[in-house]
Structure 1
Amino acid sequence: MQETQIKVLDRTLDQAITEKINGKTKPLGSLGQLETVGAQICRIQHTLQPKLEEPAILVCAGDHGITQEGISPFPQEVTFQMVMNFLAGGAAINVFSRQHNINLLVADTGVNFDFESTPQLLNKKVAKGTRNFAVEPAMSIDQCKQAMQNGADMVTKLHQEGTNIIGFGEMGIGNTTSAAALLCKYAGVQPEQACGAGTGLDQKGIQHKAEVIEKALKLHQAITSPLEILACFGGFETATICGAMLKAAELKMIIMVDGFIVTSALLAAHAMQPQILDYCIFTHQSNEQGHQHMLSFLRVNALLNIGMRLGEGTGAAVAYPLIQSAVAFINEMSSFADAGVSNR
């Protein structure tokens, strides 16, 4: 993975941005988080006339060796079956991306299946799934770096094609266990607080998941560097998204952060380069209990909280129109002076 250098945002336009937003025909602050998001986009693009161009969502799929511990009610084959569903256009993320004219890309980062070659599926397979991190690190450092570089390369290509706003989604049976372990390691959260139902576990299943993670944390307690943590507990899809996010921020793109799994990739990216948060819009709060701990650790608020926990990037797709609204009011709403409205 080539090292990325994310620049701290230039704040010299902050006063002008605030004056433009406060000068619109509305009471101060009355558009709530839309004002915050609009100002953030102005800051990222260093302009008073922000634009959203060629929005994209990249869905990364990968399998997890931790499924050997019985932490999911679904068999591993569901990962490749859902990838086929993405390619056929039948998944929720397909529906929402079509609805909002978002360019949807699907990448095989490490699915335990041999797909036929097709232009619809980006072949970024590092290996046929990670190893069982309850026994050994999920991947080698070199594999982790390769996955991160693959993510960076895909984002670079999209940027070259004109995309300036990107979201990420994922698919991988076992990846909520991986994400929970990453949360524990990066943020110091306890396994029982980090674990949720995932694809539908009952309380007994959630308890088992927490016990598996606790065992793994003790086994790998000596691992401390951000890259080693990601390689030890992450998935190929998580590492790919981490590298993609770092590159997107370096290229001054807007990053739409989805739910629990995608935010676990961001925890890794944040541990490597904290300034990445300046480029992130948190689209929704997942119903996975660990996601609230992630948002609290990062000290951020999400745009939506509507009980979603599907993954696939669906939260980002559903929230995209709100981001469009934030840009639209800045560019199109009249000021008090323009409209001849008294501003006491």
Structure 2
Amino acid sequence: MSANISPVWQPPAITPLDPAIQPMIRARIDGKAKPPGSLGRIEDLAVRLGMIRHPGEPRGDNAVLLVFTADHGLVAEGVSQYPAAVTVAMVMTFLAGRATANAFAAANHVEIRVIDAGIAAEMAPHPKLIDARIRPGTANAAREPAMTPDQAAEALTRGSRIAIGEIRNGADILALGEMGIGNTASSALLVHRLAPAPLNDCIGVGAGQDESGMAKKRAAIEMAAARSAATAPLEVLAEFGGLEIAMMAGAVLGAASLRRPVIIDGFISTAAALLAIRLCPEARGYCVFAHRSAERGHDIALAALDAQPLLDLGLRLGEGSGALLAVPLVRAAARLLTDVADLNDVLAGNI
């Protein structure tokens, strides 16, 4: 049963994975032309994908990365070494096809969609930019709620609709990415309240703060946390969240509602997944966690979700970079179920 749902917002209907079918899918994999268990955690991933798409077969050919972008009012408190203008600059880099996410997407044959969830600057219309803006950045959460409950609800709804639209257009896999100066501060507050965990354990260097910058960042985040005692998921989102984080959470729920796997990137994406799952626990089974980030607080968020990521590469970029690197593993796991011969057929010469 979904928890802590506001009367202004309801999640899409999500069918939880059925544990009763897990032994059947595991037996299928054990019967493939390989020693049982010889592919380690790829077999576990294949079981998960089989459960997600049951009674159909898993597919992974068509993958789409959703990069949600927005600004954060907390930047006014010095939580980042970079100004909010960098969000716009990076969005333009995505649209020009020259960001790290673009390079990794091209290497792995993944389509990218860039979504304006709430950039503080006016963006000129661009054929590759999806305008889903709620407001021009959040308010300064150290001094007032980041957004209203209605804005939080609308961001969740728009994220869900975007994910559902991509799946209806043929996406087999969705991956999540983000860009927003100051969003590690917002994510630290979300993980602090939703894990829950001690606040200081959730605060990391983000894009690379020095000692002085970290002192400012901690002070601003502590001020925000002291301002509100919210613990219910939608209230926590409205008090401390980012618009891109809200839309990523909505995208998790949208993907789960149509029984598709959604690949979760690093700390910020995992904070969004944590929010989604606190709102609707049934969504947990549809999440594939790509990697363990070097950002402090990510281990806490992963532990809160009992998640074991596929990769551990010391990444802390965001953009969906780690999710893109995990896409080939998800595709391979799907093909283990659909393309590998059964051992009995091999032994009988029926291949």
TM-score interval, smaller chain: over 0.9
Contact 2:93 2:99 in 1 (8 A): yes
Instruction: Establish whether residue 132 from structure 1 lines up as the match of residue 119 from structure 2.
Output: no
Secondary structure in 1 aligned to 2:297?
helix
Segment of structure 1 superposing worse, 189-198 or 75-84: 189-198
Structure 1 residues 121-142: Cα deviation after superposition (integer angstroms, max 9, x where no partner): 0011111110011100100011
**CA offsets 1:189-239 (integer angstroms, 9 cap, x no match):** 122211111111123433432232222112101x23210101111101011
Structure 1 equivalent of residue 289 of structure 2 = 282
| 1:232 alignment partner, SS class | helix
What secondary structure sits across from 1:108 in the alignment? strand
Work out the CA distance in 2 between the residues paired with 1:304 and 1:168: 16
Q: Which residue of 1 aligns with 2:3?
A: none
Aligned counterpart, 2:66 = 58
- Distance of aligned partners of 1:9 and 1:218 in 2 relative to their CA distance in 1, 3 Å threshold: same
Partner of 2:120: 112
2:86 pairs, out of 64, 78, 84, with 78
1:299, CA displacement in angstroms? 0.8
- Post-superposition Cα deviations, 1:128-170, rounded to whole Å, max 9, x if no partner, equal 1100111001000111111111111211211211113101110
Aligned to 1:3: 11
In 1, are the aligned partners of 2:11 and 2:280 still within 8 Å (CA)? no
Answer yes or no: is the 8 Å Cα contact 1:191–1:211 preserved in 2: no
Match in the other structure for 1:15: 23
- The answer to whether residue 253 in structure 2 is matched with residue 253 in structure 1 is no
Match of 1:268 among 263, 266, 275: 275
Aligned partners of 2:129, 2:277: CA distance in 1, in Å?
A: 28
Distance in 1, matches of 2:14 and 2:339, equals 31
Three-state SS of the structure 2 residue aligned to 1:104 is strand
1:150 aligns with 2:153: no
Whether 1:168 aligns to 2:179 is: no
Aligned equivalents of 1:182 and 1:206: distance in 2? Answer: 18
Aligned residue for 2:102? 94
Name the SS for the 1:56 alignment partner. strand
Of 33-42 and 156-165, the range deviating more from structure 2:
156-165
Aligned mates of 1:151, 1:20 — CA distance in 2: 35
The question of whether the paired residues in 2 share the 8 Å contact of 1:194 and 1:289 is answered with: yes
Gaps of 5+ in 2: 1-8
Which residue of structure 2 aligns with residue 182 of structure 1? Answer: 190
Instruction: Give per-residue Cα distances to partners, 1:253-291, cap 9 Å, x unaligned.
Output: 111011111111111111111121100110111110210
Aligned partner of 1:324 in structure 2 is 331
Root-mean-square deviation (Å) = 1.5
**Is 1:38 matched up with 2:7?**
no
Percentage identity across paired residues of the two chains:
38
Structure 1 residue matching 2:194: 3-state secondary structure: helix
What TM-score comes out, normalization by structure 1 length? 0.95
TM-score, length basis structure 2: 0.93
Q: Which residue of 2 aligns with 1:340?
A: 347
Task: Show the counterpart of 1:293.
Answer: 300
Report the 3-state secondary structure (helix = DSSP H, G, I; strand = E; otherwise coil) of the residue aligned with 1:151.
helix
Question: Which deviates more, 160-169 or 71-80?
Answer: 160-169
Query: What secondary structure does 1:168 align onto?
Result: strand
Q: Retained in 1: the 8 A contact 2:252–2:287?
A: no
CA gap of 1:272–1:2, structure 2 versus 1, over 3 A, is: closer
C-alpha distance in structure 2 between counterparts of 1:175 and 1:141, whole Å: 19
Q: What secondary structure sits across from 2:94 in the alignment?
A: helix
